[in-house]
């Protein structure tokens, strides 16, 4: 097999997890389906239990397809080991359950992915785990929130829907000094644009459903950790019994082949779109850390090597007719959940839930994913929909003046 570590990322992505000489010359590895793995002898069976290779004796512990994908993600994130999960959310929830126990306290960023928040609010307390949220821009102030039983500080940067960038190295240093582990949901940047372990995280989660799979045709999650956290995670993960289907994992591996080139296009389109939208009168605010006047720009520039295609903006009205006109005018942006696929999306969010920080915007938050369509088509389409929204806003204010 080609030695893949230390290769430049794009080259690594084309070589990883392949072994043509082992599989009759085929470029791609086969998809292994299976539960039972037979041992050739009693001695081989016993050796499989003791070899330090937990993937040797049952389908639930992995397969060559799964290991190829997990090893590639571990390498890209810069961690020690990876475990695949059947969805991004399942990766988030099982990580929290694995690391926390009765009496523990967890600090979670206020802009965390909504379903992770709902799990933390409704499931963790049932196991005697206390949850507090913090302002993603808290910085040094997190010291005041850490308690003797704070075991995990859970980050997502940039955070869901509003894209604040947090200071991962600073928060990690403070968490570690207090004996807590740092978990980060790294889905926005993907492992290509943010290296969580170089910035202090102990565990990194990917909703691989998004950029890694990249085609909106399957769900997957990954959890990668450093050696220190892996000990605890691996045992719990085996007890939880989560697995992912071999076809989906294969699609994850296939998605990796084009991840670099896709992300560059998503990024370029998102940057042109956000620049054009920033100047539009119907847009109150654009949230995308790659823009020089974004409040998170300095941290993003310091810690990230790229920006993906997902951002939000505030449409300058909460009026249903305006929002409806905007979405009705879009031709290339589908209305739907998720992101990271080849297709552009727009999602009406409204007002995101915040309990530890204040949401300072009126208007309507809309999240946008810039897909792989021609960037000029996307800009034209978006600006046309914004023009229509603006016309609707002006109409309403004229009617108000007349009344
Ligand atoms: C989508 C998403 C998830 C969950 O991934 P699924 O595969 O849809 O379960 C987790 N975190 C973030 C930041 C996401 O955007």
Tell me the CA–centroid distance for residue 153 and ligand 1, in Å. Answer: 18
Q: Are residues 232 and 213 in the same domain?
A: yes
Cα–Cα distance for residue pair 214/255, rounded to 1 Å: 6
**Residues classed as catalytic:** 60, 113, 185, 210
Q: Are residues 67 and 183 in the same domain?
A: yes
pLDDT reported for residue 106: 98
| Residue 315 within a domain | yes
- Domain edge (last residue) among 228, 255, 282: 255
Q: Are residues 213 and 299 in the same domain?
A: no
7 by Cβ neighbours in 10 Å (0-12 / 13-18 / 19+) ranks as middle
- Residue to substitute in 111, 207, 249, 369 for testing ligand 1 pocket (most ligand atoms within 8 angstroms of CB): 207
Tell me the CA–centroid distance for residue 178 and ligand 1, in Å. Answer: 29
Cα–Cα distance for residue pair 199/61, rounded to 1 Å: 30
Tokens of 114: 């909504």
Q: Are residues 234 and 136 in the same domain?
A: yes
| Residue 112 within a domain | yes
Cα–Cα distance for residue pair 209/255, rounded to 1 Å: 10
> Which residues, judged by CB distance below 6 Å to any ligand atom, belong to the binding site of ligand 1?
87-89, 92, 113, 156, 160, 185, 187, 207, 209-210, 219, 221, 338
- Residue to substitute in 94, 96, 115 for testing ligand 1 pocket (most ligand atoms within 8 angstroms of CB): 115
| Residue 98 within a domain | yes
CATH number at residue 326: 3.90.1150.10
Ligand 1 atom 6: residue of nearest CA: 88
| Residue 1 within a domain | no
- Residue to substitute in 86, 89, 208 for testing ligand 1 pocket (most ligand atoms within 8 angstroms of CB): 89
Largest CA distance in the chain: 90
- What is the extent of the structural domain holding 38? 9-255
Q: Tell me which residue of 75, 78, 74 sits closest to 195, measured CA to CA.
A: 78
**Nearest atom within ligand 1 for CA of residue 207:** 5
pLDDT reported for residue 260: 98
Per-residue pLDDT tens digits for 177-194: 999 999 999 999 999 999
Q: Are residues 211 and 236 in the same domain?
A: yes
How many folded domains does the chain comprise? 2
CA triple 358-127-223, angle to 5 deg:
70
Ligand 1 atom 2: residue of nearest CA: 207
pLDDT reported for residue 289: 98
Q: Are residues 358 and 237 in the same domain?
A: no
Q: Are residues 20 and 121 in the same domain?
A: yes
Q: Are residues 186 and 228 in the same domain?
A: yes
pLDDT reported for residue 45: 86
Q: Are residues 294 and 324 in the same domain?
A: yes
> Mean pLDDT for each consecutive 10-residue tract of the chain (403 residues)?
70 95 95 92 83 69 93 97 98 98 98 98 98 97 98 97 98 98 98 98 98 98 97 93 96 98 98 98 98 98 98 97 97 97 96 93 96 98 98 91 84
Q: What is the DSSP string of 270-286?
A: HHHHHHHHHT-TTEEEE
Tell me the CA–centroid distance for residue 156 and ligand 1, in Å. Answer: 11
- Domain edge (last residue) among 227, 255, 283: 255
Q: Are residues 348 and 203 in the same domain?
A: no
Question: pTM of this prediction?
Answer: 0.96
Q: Where are the beta strands (DSSP E) in 271-344?
A: 283-287, 310-315, 334-335
Q: Are residues 266 and 244 in the same domain?
A: no
pLDDT reported for residue 2: 43
| Residue 3 within a domain | no
Tell me the CA–centroid distance for residue 89 and ligand 1, in Å. Answer: 5
4 by Cβ neighbours in 10 Å (0-12 / 13-18 / 19+) ranks as middle
pLDDT reported for residue 44: 86
pLDDT reported for residue 152: 98
**Nearest atom within ligand 1 for CA of residue 112:** 13
Tell me the CA–centroid distance for residue 370 and ligand 1, in Å. Answer: 17
Tell me the CA–centroid distance for residue 41 and ligand 1, in Å. Answer: 43
In the sheet with 310-315, reading across from the earlier edge strand, the strands are 283-287, 310-315, 364-369, 345-350, 334-335
| Residue 2 within a domain | no
Q: Cβ distance 325 to 389 under 8 Å?
A: yes
Q: What is the DSSP string of 67-127?
A: HHHHHHHHHHHT-SEEEEESSHHHHHHHHHHHH--TT-EEEEETT--HHHHHHHHHTGGGG
Q: Are residues 200 and 295 in the same domain?
A: no
- Strands 81-85 and 221-225 turn out to be antiparallel
């Amino acid at each position: 097999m080609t030695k893949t570590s230390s290769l430049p990322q794009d080259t690594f992505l084309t070589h990883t997890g392949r072994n043509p000489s082992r599989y009759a010359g085929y470029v791609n590895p086969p998809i292994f389906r299976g539960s039972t793995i037979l041992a050739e002898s009693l001695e081989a069976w016993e050796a499989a239990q003791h070899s330090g290779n937990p993937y040797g004796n049952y389908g639930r512990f992995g397969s060559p397809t799964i290991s190829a994908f997990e090893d590639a993600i571990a390498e890209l994130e810069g961690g020690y080991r990876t475990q695949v999960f059947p969805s991004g959310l399942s990766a988030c929830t099982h990580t929290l359950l694995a690391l926390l126990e009765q009496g523990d306290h967890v600090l979670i960023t206020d802009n965390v992915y909504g379903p992770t928040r709902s799990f933390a609010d409704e499931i963790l307390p049932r196991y005697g785990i206390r949850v507090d949220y913090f302002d993603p821009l808290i910085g040094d102030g997190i010291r005041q929130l850490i308690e003797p039983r704070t075991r995990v500080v859970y980050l997502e940067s940039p955070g869901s829907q509003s894209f604040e960038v947090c200071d991962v190295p600073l928060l990690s240093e403070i968490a570690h000094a207090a004996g807590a582990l740092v978990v980060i949901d790294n889905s926005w940047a993907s492992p290509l644009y943010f290296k969580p372990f170089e910035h202090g995280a102990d565990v990194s989660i990917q909703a691989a459903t998004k950029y890694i799979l990249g085609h909106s045709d399957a769900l997957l999650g990954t959890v990668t950790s450093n050696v220190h956290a892996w000990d605890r995670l691996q045992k719990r993960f085996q007890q939880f019994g989560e697995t992912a289907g071999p076809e989906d994992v294969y699609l994850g591996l296939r998605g990796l082949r084009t991840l670099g080139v896709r992300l560059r296009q998503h990024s370029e389109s998102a940057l042109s779109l956000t620049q054009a939208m920033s100047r539009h009168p119907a847009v109150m605010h654009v949230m995308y850390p790659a823009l020089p006047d974004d409040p998170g720009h300095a941290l993003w520039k310091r810690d990230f090597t790229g920006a993906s295609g997902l951002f939000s903006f505030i449409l300058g009205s909460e009026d249903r007719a305006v929002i409806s006109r905007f979405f009705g005018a879009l031709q290339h942006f589908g209305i739907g959940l998720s992101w990271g696929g080849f297709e552009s999306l727009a999602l009406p969010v409204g007002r995101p839930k915040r309990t530890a920080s204040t949401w300072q915007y009126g208007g309507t938050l809309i999240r946008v994913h810039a897909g792989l369509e021609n960037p000029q088509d996307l800009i034209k389409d978006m600006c046309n929909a914004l023009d229509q929204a603006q016309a609707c806003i002006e109409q309403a204010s004229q009617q108000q003046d007349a009344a």
